[in-house]
């Protein structure tokens, strides 16, 4: 009786604790890329659960059927040869499971690396996301604004993040919108996301990058396109311009709150792409075209600076 009540108490405690847990962010998707990954996770969980149940059922059956029994002292169990059918099942089923999960994983990888489903015909919002110790800098080249440690993005529009780092390797991750991807100092990596549902989401660096790693987070505000346009106009009217001196201060190691600026650091400190060095992985043809325009823009800026210096 005591064992029975102890067992029931343990079960009750487990359920009580679990009721206070928040749902896992990766299983609460708010975008097509995250939904694809959540489906893969749940498929793997159900498949592994089925395997565990079958294995434990077979274990219980074997323990009961072939348990030790009272036999005479000179009893010798019969010699049994291997069974090809049993061996084929023991080897074949794991091979089929691994092959199935590999197929699903490769297929979903192609999906999350491409433009999100349903957004193929829409122009993406390009955002350069760069990390430094221990903060995130988000540059909107089309809107000509920059934010620190927070994002404003429109819903129902594809998002194209171009990632790089001003320090150690970091990993850009918004669990409810999609998977993580590395940001490195000598190359651009591209991540395609989209938000279907308005809301506030958590983003972070998912790769250990020093003592300030734990607080290397940022907020994501997904709003309608109308609200996004209003936010852009408000920033242009109220925010201070981002200067090279100010950006150098932002790059100093440490934690900062959220801040907003007009202009971007891309004007005086270009990302590591095109003629500016490094590799260019994960970029599309449209990326290369924009890179060419970007380099031409900087050449014009350099020429204008030389002209100004000459006049002085």
β 217-223/150-154 pair status: parallel
Distances 146 to 174, 199, 235 between C-alpha atoms, Å = 19, 21, 9
User: For each of the chain's 312 residues, which pLDDT tens digit applies?
Assistant: 566 566 667 766 665 555 445 568 889 999 999 999 999 999 999 999 999 999 999 999 988 887 877 777 787 877 877 788 888 988 999 999 999 999 999 999 999 999 998 999 899 999 999 999 999 999 999 999 999 999 999 999 999 999 999 989 999 999 999 999 999 998 999 999 999 999 999 999 999 988 989 989 999 999 999 999 999 999 999 999 999 999 999 999 999 999 999 999 999 999 986 433 444 444 444 444 444 444 444 443 443 333 333 333
Of 160, 144, 140, the C-alpha closest to 152 is 140
Buried b (16+ CB within 10 A) or exposed e, 56-89: eeeeeeeeeeeeeeeeeeeeeeeeeeeeeeeeee
Helix (H) or strand (E) segment spanning residue 140: strand 135-140
Q: What are 241's strand-pairing partners? A: 262
Reported pTM: 0.76
* Cα–Cα dist 25/178, whole Å: 10
The answer to whether residues 149 and 219 touch, using CB atoms and an 8 Å cutoff, is yes
For residue 134, say if its preceding peptide bond is cis, omega within 30 degrees of 0: yes
Q: What are 221's strand-pairing partners? A: 152, 200
Task: Kindly report the number of other CB atoms within 10 A of residue 10's CB atom.
Answer: 10
Neighbouring residues of 168: CB distance < 8 A, sequence distance ≥ 6: 133, 185, 209, 210
The answer to whether residues 167 and 183 touch, using CB atoms and an 8 Å cutoff, is no
* Cα–Cα dist 11/25, whole Å: 25
Distances 134 to 75, 196, 239, 269, 310 between C-alpha atoms, Å = 72, 29, 23, 19, 39
């Amino acid at each position: 009786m005591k064992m029975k009540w102890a067992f029931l108490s343990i079960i009750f405690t487990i359920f009580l604790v679990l009721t206070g847990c928040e749902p896992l962010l990766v299983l609460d998707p708010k975008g097509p890329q995250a939904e694809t990954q959540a489906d893969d996770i749940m498929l793997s969980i159900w498949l592994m659960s089925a395997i565990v149940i079958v294995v434990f059922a077979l274990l219980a059956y074997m323990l009961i059927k072939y348990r030790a029994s009272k036999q005479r002292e000179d009893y010798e169990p019969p010699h049994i040869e291997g069974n090809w059918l049993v061996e084929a099942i023991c080897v074949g089923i794991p091979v089929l499971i691994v092959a199935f999960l590999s197929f699903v994983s490769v297929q979903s990888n192609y999906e999350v690396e491409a433009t999100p489903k349903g957004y193929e015909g829409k122009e993406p919002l390009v955002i350069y996301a760069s990390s430094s110790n221990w903060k995130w800098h988000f540059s909107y080249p089309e809107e000509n604004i920059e934010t620190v440690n927070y994002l404003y993005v429109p819903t129902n529009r594809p998002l194209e993040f171009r990632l790089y780092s001003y320090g150690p390797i970091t990993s850009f991750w918004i669990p409810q919108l999609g998977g993580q991807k590395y940001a490195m100092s000598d190359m651009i990596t591209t991540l395609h996301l989209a938000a279907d549902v308005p809301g506030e989401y958590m983003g972070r660096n998912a790769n250990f990058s020093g003592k300030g790693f734990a607080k290397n987070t940022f907020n994501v505000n997904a709003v309608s396109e109308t609200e996004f346009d209003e936010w852009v106009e408000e920033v242009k009217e109220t925010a201070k311009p981002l200067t090279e001196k100010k950006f150098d201060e932002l790059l100093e190691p440490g934690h900062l709150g959220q801040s907003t600026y007009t202009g971007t650091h891309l004007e005086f400190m270009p990302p590591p792409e095109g003629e500016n060095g490094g590799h260019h992985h994960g970029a599309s043809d449209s990326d290369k075209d924009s890179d060419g325009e970007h380099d031409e823009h900087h050449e014009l800026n350099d020429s204008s600076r030389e002209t100004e210096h000459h006049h002085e």
